[in-house]
Amino acid sequence: MRYAVAPTPTPTPTVTPTATFTPVPTATPTSTPTPTATPTQSLPAQPRQFESHYTAVPPIIDGDLSEWADAPALVLDVNTARYVSPRSIPAPEDVSLTLRSRWDQNFLYFALHITDDALIADSDEVWRDDGVELGFDGLNDDQGGGVDDHQFTFVVDGRVTDFGMYLVPELISNVQVVADGYNIEIAIPKTLLSPGGYTTGQVLGFTIGLHDDDDGGDWDSYLIWEGTSTISRQNEFGTLALVGEVATPTPTPTPTPTVTPTATPTPVTVVLRRDEAGYMDVQDTFINAWSPASNYGSESRLLVRSKNVMGTLLFFNLEGVIPAGAYITRATLELYQYNRSNGNPITLEVYGLKRAWDASQATWEYAQAKQPWGQPGADDVNTDRDADPAATYYLDRASGWVSLDVTSIVQRWVNGSNYGLIIKGQSSGAVEYRFYSSEWWQSDLRPRLKIEYVP
């Protein structure tokens, strides 16, 4: 699909697919060994290092970078790239990248703004479209092929791969198109790069690649911050240093202390998904205004359609899993989107539910047998659901993992009643987004709820 940024001052314009695309023939390369337009660079001889600063407050991975303004920035353009492909030498105003990073013990966070005057995503191969590559050598051992080695690719249309392969469920990301290009916000868990947890003073092998496609088909320009590849030659990578002290309580010195400081509780992480580690107590279904008496509890799909036509219901039983009164530090609901009806974007809205329902009985009209919703579609804000969404998520891609921040809803479940949630969709056009349900045969693509809490 081909995308172009609409010429409007709107802060977050919609990515608009064009109807057709005619490939532009690739120019025949000249015999000149070195293009004369290659910029003069004065880079240090040794690979560079960038710092990621500790944060006690995890950022919200929503593509809004306003909370990142005070973080140090790394700029990648034709003047700062160690490698510039001779295929095309892009001016900084044509394509450039600004990256910022933070970390805590469990996640490594990135915020990227890409300046790009034409956004293209029309190829099956992710490296041919507008996108960013993050290359990691987690152990910084200059060796490839290990579990700590990754090449994550993030395409402007939301696709994410690791070494060109889809399905990276642990990684959380969000792409937002903006007036002068696009933003990417990312959270990489310790399980992918540092199983023991991220720590102060840790140094990871790291580099960044930036592909730009201005006219469809193959990429036109390619920049790499350090090294000549993001997928191999780890010995050429730069480094990412984790700096800043992890916040811990420090007792105030007194002549005669009377209180012994209590050790900071260690957060506990649980992952809930049907058939994972013996957990089974998940319910999900969707409800459909076009077939108001139909129940879809046995379907292997979950549908969300704009114009209040279809909504998805989910319930995870937390009894015996999370202790009552626990403090929820983070909770994300992850769904795998496998398809959509057309190229229109949608904004998912997540609402907490206020009443019991049964996945094997729920319809557009009834929460369960002989118990109708207050309004069809679970739309009564007094008896069916919350009036305001606990989370929203702008979605404009053909497939991939979707991560919804449901921390506030899960905290309410732990504190009191748990009736699950409903996901509705808003869009200026008619569109249906499709996700796998807990009945899907491939267990690693089923919905899952990740909860981090302090007992």
Q: Burial, 186: exposed, middle or buried (Cβ in 10 Å; 0-12, 13-18, 19+)?
A: buried
Q: Is the pLDDT of residue 252 over 90?
A: no
Is 268-454 the same fold as 3-16+46-243?
Answer: no
Q: What is the DSSP string of 273-290?
A: -TTBTTB--EEEEEEETT
Find, among 1, 418, 10, 8, the residue nearest to 213 by Cα. Answer: 1
3-class secondary structure, 176? strand
User: 77 or 249: whose pLDDT is higher?
Assistant: 77
Please give the CATH topology (third level) of the domain spanning 268-454: Jelly Rolls (2.60.120)
What does the pLDDT average to over 112-118? 93
Chain segment 76-95, per-residue pLDDT in tens: 999 999 999 989 899 988 89
Find, among 187, 210, 203, the residue nearest to 134 by Cα. Answer: 210
Q: How far apart are CA 265 and CA 96, in angstroms?
A: 42
**In the prediction, which pLDDT does 8 show?**
34
Would you put residue 150 in left (φ > 0), alpha (ψ -120 to 50) or beta?
A: beta
**In the prediction, which pLDDT does 267 show?**
83
pLDDT grade, residue 220 (50/70/90)? very high
**In the prediction, which pLDDT does 261 show?**
52
Q: What are the strands, taking DSSP E only, across 27-127?
A: 49-54, 74-76, 83-84, 95-103, 107-116
Q: Are 405 and 331 in contact (CB under 8 A)?
A: yes
User: 125 or 21: whose pLDDT is higher?
Assistant: 125
User: 37 or 164: whose pLDDT is higher?
Assistant: 164
User: 411 or 145: whose pLDDT is higher?
Assistant: 411
**In the prediction, which pLDDT does 265 show?**
66
**In the prediction, which pLDDT does 123 show?**
85
Q: How far apart are CA 62 and CA 174, in angstroms?
A: 6
Comparing 29-33, 254-258, 431-435, the range with the smallest average pLDDT is 29-33
Find, among 407, 452, 437, 410, the residue nearest to 273 by Cα. Answer: 437
Find, among 143, 140, 168, the residue nearest to 153 by Cα. Answer: 168
**In the prediction, which pLDDT does 26 show?**
36
Comparing 9-13, 131-135, 165-169, 321-325, the range with the smallest average pLDDT is 9-13
Q: Are 143 and 223 in contact (CB under 8 A)?
A: no
What is the tally of helices (H) and strands (E) in the chain?
2, 28
Chain segment 396-449, per-residue pLDDT in tens: 988 889 999 999 999 999 998 999 999 999 999 999 999 999 999 999 999 999
Q: Is the pLDDT of residue 5 over 80?
A: no
What does the pLDDT average to over 110-126? 90
Please give the CATH topology (third level) of the domain spanning 3-16+46-243: Immunoglobulin-like (2.60.40)
Q: Is the pLDDT of residue 188 over 70?
A: yes
Chain segment 41-71, per-residue pLDDT in tens: 578 888 999 999 999 999 989 889 999 999 9
Q: Where are the domains of the chain?
A: 3-16+46-243, 268-454
**In the prediction, which pLDDT does 350 show?**
96
Q: Is the pLDDT of residue 263 over 80?
A: no
User: 6 or 63: whose pLDDT is higher?
Assistant: 63
Q: Is the pLDDT of residue 231 over 60?
A: yes
Chain segment 313-329, per-residue pLDDT in tens: 999 999 999 998 899 99
Q: Is the pLDDT of residue 103 over 50?
A: yes
- What's this model's pTM, rounded to 2 decimal places? 0.52
Q: Is the pLDDT of residue 251 over 80?
A: no
Q: Is the pLDDT of residue 33 over 50?
A: no
Q: In this prediction, what percent of the chain has a pLDDT beyond 90?
A: 65
Reduced DSSP (H G I as helix, E B as strand, rest coil) percent helix, strand, coil of the chain, to 5: 5, 40, 55
pLDDT grade, residue 264 (50/70/90)? low
pLDDT grade, residue 245 (50/70/90)? confident
Find, among 420, 409, 415, 425, the residue nearest to 447 by Cα. Answer: 420
**In the prediction, which pLDDT does 36 show?**
37
Chain segment 353-401, per-residue pLDDT in tens: 999 999 999 999 999 999 999 999 999 999 999 999 999 998 998 888 9
3-class secondary structure, 216? coil
What radius of gyration, in Å, describes the C-alpha atoms of the chain? 24
Q: In this prediction, what percent of the chain has a pLDDT beyond 70?
A: 86
Q: Which residues pair with 400 in a beta bridge?
A: 337
User: Mean pLDDT for the chain?
Assistant: 86
